[in-house]
Amino acid sequence: MIKVENVSKDYELDDGTKVTAVKDISFEVKEGEILGIMGRSGSGKTTLLRALRGVEHIDAGKITVGDVSVDAGSSQFYYNNLKKETAIHLQRSFGVWPDTVRENVLRKLYARRYFDEGDTNFEVAESEFGEEADELLELVSLTHKKDHYASVLSGGEKQRLIMARQLAKQPKALLLDEPATMACPKTKQEILDAVKKINKELKITVILVSHLPDVQKYLADRVILLEDGEIADEGSADEIFYNPKHEYTKGLLRS
Ligand code: ADP
Ligand code: MG
């Protein structure tokens, strides 16, 4: 379970002025649920997700993911523990190794036990994690590409490989920031289908940041609307999109 309690986060700009990106936000996410976070650009979505990830220290409140909690006073040690609980998939793409698709997954699995994916012993990785690698590749529908070099993958395939690598860490939650926003329709659908399958089969909790209504409608069980760092509306995806109370979501219905 994920619990966000009265979380706030400010940024200090170079000239000393403060920008409040997230203001006193509280919500819970049930195990296995897909929570969507919507809102205009600058409404605080990425900041909130980065805080959940443990890469952004919060100024007030408390975040709990599974057995790990952090608050404003927590040391880096606890934020690092939070990072271990979650996998993140950010807007910018992560690097992959110039190996095959399967080797890329094996490296991450190897690192889960031996800490250094750069120094992967593939013989050991194969015998200890070979089956798990195949399961992960099946999950993201890359079995047919497993022996291809990662460098020749299409955009959507590369995104799915990155997801498989993140899942190799056995995170409690998958945090997605604008997945598939820049992708063509086919690629986008492949990525969204992979997220759906991952959620169903692994029963992993997903927090999905996307400003795209169709992405939220397709995936989210429940949606939170952020405005200027605060929760402006919250409800099931059906309530938010088909019976909107908020001007922003009413606008989406009209458009
Ligand atoms: P969103 O993802 O919804 O577009 P962000 O979380 O990126 O929103 O940004 C929320 C607010 O915080 C915006 O006003 C943005 O300009 C500001 N902000 C985000 N990151 C930083 C940063 N590293 N330094 C200063 N201000 C930031
Ligand atoms: Mg953002």
Write out pLDDT tens, residues 92-141: 556 789 999 999 999 999 999 998 999 999 999 999 999 999 999 999 99
Is the pLDDT at 69 greater than 80? The verdict is yes
C-alpha–C-alpha distance, residues 33 and 220, integer Å = 8
- In angstroms, what is the span from residue 140 Cα to ligand 2's centroid? 24
Q: Which two tokens stand for residue 210?
A: 């996307």
C-alpha–C-alpha distance, residues 251 and 111, integer Å = 47
In this prediction, residues 54-75 reach a mean pLDDT of 95
This prediction's pTM:
0.90
| Higher-scoring residue by pLDDT: 210, 251 | 210
How far from chain centre, in Å, is Cα 108? 17
Report the side by side order of strands in the sheet with 18-29: 18-29, 2-12, 60-65, 68-71
Whose atoms come closest to the Cα of 181: which ligand?
A: 2
Q: Give every CB contact of residue 213 below 8 A, 6+ residues apart in sequence.
A: 38, 241, 252
Q: Is the CB of 43 under 6 A from ligand 1?
A: yes
Coil, strand, or helix at residue 38? strand
Other CB atoms within 10 A of residue 41 CB: 7
**Which residue lies with its CA nearest to atom 27 of ligand 1?**
11
Q: Which of 17, 23, 46 to mutate to test the pocket of ligand 1 (most atoms within 8 A of CB)?
A: 46
Is the pLDDT at 89 greater than 80? The verdict is no
List residues bridging with 13 in a β-sheet: none
Mean pLDDT of the chain: 91
Per-residue confidence (pLDDT) for residue 230, from 0 to 100? 96
Percentage with pLDDT > 90 across the chain? 73
pLDDT in tens, 163-195: 999 899 899 999 999 887 777 888 889 889 999
C-alpha–C-alpha distance, residues 196 and 221, integer Å = 11
Per-residue confidence (pLDDT) for residue 197, from 0 to 100? 94
In this prediction, residues 229-241 reach a mean pLDDT of 89
Of 88-97, 103-112, 146-155, 206-215, where does mean pLDDT reach its minimum?
88-97
Q: Per-residue confidence at 5, pLDDT binned at 50, 70, 90?
A: very high
C-alpha–C-alpha distance, residues 1 and 13, integer Å = 34
In this prediction, residues 241-255 reach a mean pLDDT of 73
CA-41 nearest atom, ligand 1 = 4
In this prediction, residues 151-170 reach a mean pLDDT of 90
CA-12 nearest atom, ligand 1 = 25
